[in-house]
Amino acid sequence: MLKKLDWKTVFKIGVGVIAVYLAIHYWPNISGILGTVLSAALPIIIGAAVAYPLNILMSFYERHYFPKSQKPAVIKSRKAVSLVGAVITVLGIISLVIGLIAPQLVACIQMLVNEIPGAMDYVVSKLKENEFISKNLIDSLASVDWKSRITDIMQTVTSGIGDVAGVAVSAVSSVFSGVFNIVLGVIFALYILIDKKRLGRQFNKVSVKYIPARILGKITHIIDVLNDCFHRFIVGQCTEAVILGVLCIIGMAILRIPYALMIGTLMGFTALIPIVGGLIGAGVGAFLILMESPVKALIFLVFVIILQQVEGNLIYPKVVGSSIGLPGLWVLAAVTVGGGVFGIFGMLIGVPVVATVYRLVREDVTHEKETLFVGNVEASDADDSEV
């Protein structure tokens, strides 16, 4: 029998229907307003995104900064010292990666530019010997001064675009806007981390005041699971990247493969992207080694294949897979879908988001099974008592 609807329920349904209709009818205007709001709030979003991984490091330092001391000076300085330590650690890692990769990468690019003319002359001579193409075309290719052509192309790429005033102004404006948002986002992140406890208390007070207890409990549980999955994923992924980079450097040094330090660092950095990151680093590394020695490049590819098997079957499942509790099939699906929708950013956040959904669904299904089991047991006991 249907319950009689009171006027409050009818009013809520009517307001909901009108809101949906207005949202659909005026969606272009609403989407424009949302885009403007998101653009204005971009520094805050960047700040929250920066604050989260920084908070992991900051919390680590807080746990190890004289944890048993109750001196007022230690307690007051714990937050500031931990925050400074986290920032210095991140800046140090970024500087180390850039310092190890950038100089050798520039040297490899310069060597590549210098070797292209000789390689083109070699290809032309081989084509001329084997008579694969017509003599006129070979003569045309042979008469080209490849070194000067490459120099002209490089000059066009580096300085030709700068001759267009509109493009230059647009590029400078975009770069300035991006740098400004990043700097402002970092400032927001620092403020968030400094006042994180106060912000947490304020958020809890507002939530308790305006959200019903039953709904608030579910929201809190979802946030806790999401936070746990992201925390485990970030820590596990960084640990796995360091292990992979170190193993790559050691293996390349033993095999006497060039650019061991740079390529190992690059492999570790790209390994932050789940599954496909190592392949990207291996492809770039093999191309750089190929410029110096094709044989070494082949040895490197064989070594990377073996290392990837060890990493995929031993390191990643132990360090990352087991920590987030997500099967390999769903990890691959999360990376594929996330990368297709949001690019590299989607690859990074896809795995912890899917892990959160997977854990919540598993908890819900397990709870239903337990409820059904308890209900069946109670029914069985009732039948036995009646007998």
The answer to whether the CB of 117 falls within 8 A of the CB of 123 is: no
pLDDT, one tens digit per residue, over 278-325 is: 788 888 888 888 877 888 989 999 999 898 888 777 776 666 666 667
Answer yes or no: are the C-beta atoms of 319 and 236 closer than 8 Å.
Answer: yes
Residue 251 lies in a domain: yes
- Asked which of 122-136, 261-275, 370-384 is least confident by mean pLDDT, the reply is 370-384
Name the token pair of 211: 């959200």
In a domain, 327, yes or no: yes
Using the predicted structure, report yes or no on whether residue 147 has a pLDDT greater than 90: no
**CB neighbours (10 Å) of residue 264?**
24
DSSP secondary structure letters along 274-334? TTTHHHHHHHHHHHHHHTT-HHHHHHHHHHHHHHHHHIIIIIHIIIIIHHHT--HHHHHHH
| The predicted structure's pLDDT at residue 348 | 78
Identify the residue with better confidence: 246 or 134: 246
Average pLDDT over residues 259-271: 86
User: Which one is predicted more confidently, 130 or 99?
Assistant: 99
Q: What is the pLDDT of residue 89?
A: 92
Cα separation of 217 and 209, whole Å?
Answer: 13
pLDDT by residue (tens digit) across 165-199?
454 445 555 666 777 888 888 888 888 888 888 88
Distance CA 335, CA 332 (A): 5
Residue 387: its pLDDT value, please? Answer: 41
Whole-model pTM: value is: 0.68
Q: Which pLDDT belongs to residue 299?
A: 92
**Helices and strands: H and E segment counts in the chain:** 15, 0
DSSP three-state, residue 41: coil
C-alpha 89/C-alpha 100 separation (Å) is 16
Containing structural domain, residue 263: 213-367
Q: Within a domain: residue 336?
A: yes
pLDDT of residue 156: 58
Give domain status of residue 177, yes or no.
Answer: no
Q: Which two tokens stand for residue 367?
A: 């709870």
Higher pLDDT, 255 or 6: 255
Q: Cα-flanking dihedrals φ and ψ of residue 319, to 5°?
A: -85, -45
Q: Which two three-digit tokens encode residue 7?
A: 């006027």
pLDDT tens for each residue of 44-100: 888 888 899 899 999 989 888 888 888 888 888 888 899 999 999 999 988 888 887
Angle between helices 196-210 and 165-194 (to 10 degrees): 80
Cβ–Cβ under 8 Å, residues 289 and 112:
no
Q: Is the pLDDT of residue 159 over 70?
A: no
Q: What is the pLDDT of residue 133?
A: 57
* CA gap 77, 65 in Å, rounded: 9
| Low-confidence winner among 58-67, 214-223, 374-383 (lowest mean pLDDT) | 374-383
Q: Is the pLDDT of residue 119 over 70?
A: no
In this structure, is residue 122 part of a structural domain?
Answer: no
What is the chain's mean pLDDT, rounded? 77
pLDDT surpassing 80 at residue 384: no
- 232 pLDDT more than 70: yes
The predicted pLDDT at position 302 comes to 92
pLDDT, tens digit (0-9, with 9 covering 90-100), for 236-251: 888 888 888 899 999 9
Decide: residue 289, CB within 10 A, 0-12 exposed, 13-18 middle, 19+ buried.
buried
Query: 372 pLDDT exceeds 90?
Result: no
* Predicted local distance difference test score (pLDDT) of residue 148: 63
pLDDT of residue 170: 56
Q: How many CA atoms lie within 13 A of 34 on its CB side?
A: 7
Residue 331 within a domain? yes
Kindly tell me if the per-residue pLDDT of 277 is higher than 90. no
State how many domains the chain has.
Answer: 1
Residue 288 lies in a domain: yes
Sign of the Cα pseudo-torsion (50, 51, 52, 57, in order): positive
Q: Does the structure show a pLDDT above 90 at 333?
A: no
Amino acid 88: pLDDT: 93
Q: Which amino acid is at 317?
A: P
Tokens for 330?
A: 């769903």
Please count the other Cβ atoms lying within 10 Å of the Cβ belonging to residue 255.
Answer: 13
Q: Three-class SS of residue 68?
A: coil
Domain-located, residue 282:
yes
